[in-house]
Amino acid sequence: MSRTSNRRTLRAGAVVLTLGPLFIGSGCLVTPPEPAEVWKAWDQGLSSPLGTFEALRTALRGEILVAEYRCFSSGWKSRNGISQVGYREYRDSLLDLAPHFIWGLSQATVHLEEGTAPHRATIFAEIDTLFSSTTVRFSLVQEAYMELRAGGRRLVSEPLESVALQTRHKEGQLFAWIPLEDLPPEGEVESFRLETEWRIDDIHLEAKGD
């Protein structure tokens, strides 16, 4: 096993080992979402904190890894060193240590608290079982992203560091300053989209026995 794999496994273990007592002996059947349910969860995209949570919960039930990965912020991915290619390894490590984690989230009672800072919010998922109770706290941040199509393909863009710094509104028009290093010299810009999305920036788990 590589040094990177060891680091990810240990990190996942530090996060979810406290969930062991919660899920032992609990029912763990999770019904995969129907296509209509998946569509409903993603219909609004990641336009609100609760929408992002529901999108993640639905993607986890359906094992839609691309959708799961999209729910996490650029900061979370950078801090944990997890790329889209490496996300499955991280996910597998987490579920090895807490195999009923997805079931727990599917049963959770959820409430939202607005963040003390702009573009921040917190979601609390309360999970109660016969033996224990757990609070899963999701910290969310609103990030700006762009999507650009050029030369007949979709260019994967980095999140914008700050909407305030890289966009300007003047006389009814919106101006955006976007790095185009990946744009082919001969490529013509076919479409451009700029939007903000709520993404998960951190997850905290607190388990207490009854």
What does the pLDDT average to over 16-31?
48
What does the pLDDT average to over 59-87?
90
Structure tokens that stand for 158 in this block: 């980095």
Query: Could you report the per-residue pLDDT of 173-201, keeping only the tens digit for each?
Result: 767 666 666 566 666 777 777 778 899 99
- Residue ranges per domain, the chain? 3-142+198-209
Q: Are strands 173-176 and 120-128 parallel, antiparallel or unpaired?
A: unpaired
| pLDDT at position 160 | 65
Q: What are residue 87's phi and psi, to 5 degrees?
A: -65, -40
Structure tokens that stand for 168 in this block: 């300007």
Which residues have CB under 8 Å from 185's CB, separation 6+? none
Query: Which region, left, alpha or beta, applies to residue 75 given φ > 0 means left and ψ of -120 to 50 means alpha?
Result: alpha
| pLDDT at position 180 | 61
Cβ atoms < 10 Å from Cβ of 94: 21
Query: Could you report the per-residue pLDDT of 46-57, keeping only the tens digit for each?
Result: 889 999 999 999
Q: Which of the listed CATH numbers 3.10.20, 3.40.50, 3.10.450, 3.90.550 matches domain 3-142+198-209? A: 3.10.450
Select from 145, 166, 142 the least CA-distant residue to 156: 145
What does the pLDDT average to over 54-68?
89
Q: Please, which pLDDT band fits residue 157 given cuts at 50, 70 and 90?
A: low
What does the pLDDT average to over 86-108?
86
Residue 6 reports pLDDT greater than 50: no
Contact assessment for residue 145 and residue 199, using Cβ atoms and an 8 Å cutoff? no
**Mean pLDDT, the chain, whole residue set:** 75
